[in-house]
Amino acid sequence: MADITDIKAILYTEKSLGLQEDGVVVIQTSPKMTKNSLKEVLKNYFGFVPLKVNSMRVNGKVKRFRGLEGKRADYKKFYVKLPEGATIESMEV
């Protein structure tokens, strides 16, 4: 079962700030998080059920540093449509 600690960040990019005007928040989580577990976390910790949730898996890039090859962490990105009047207080800008 997923927990609030699986939510890594709320993404604030040019695209995500434009979506926030329409009530959509972009959340970065661990790769094991599912749509249903995210809905459960939002209901338990923030007191609302999202209207719609879209997910996207992002694979980490392979990078080189001083000749050694490494890989950035994989993560999932969720686009969450909030109900009217709902906010995520503890993670706002």
Domains of the chain, each with CATH number or no CATH: 4-87 (3.30.70.330)
Question: How does residue 93 score in pLDDT terms, banded at 50, 70 and 90?
Answer: very low
- Rounded to two decimals, the pTM is 0.84
Q: Residues 60-88, buried b or exposed e (16+ Cβ, 10 A)?
A: eeeeeeeeeeeeeeebbbbbbebeeebeb
Sign of torsion over alpha carbons 19, 54, 8, 66:
negative
- Give the pLDDT confidence of 40-74 residue by residue, as tens digits: 999 998 888 999 999 999 999 999 999 999 999 99
> Backbone dihedral region of 89: left (phi > 0), alpha (psi from -120 to 50 degrees) or beta?
alpha
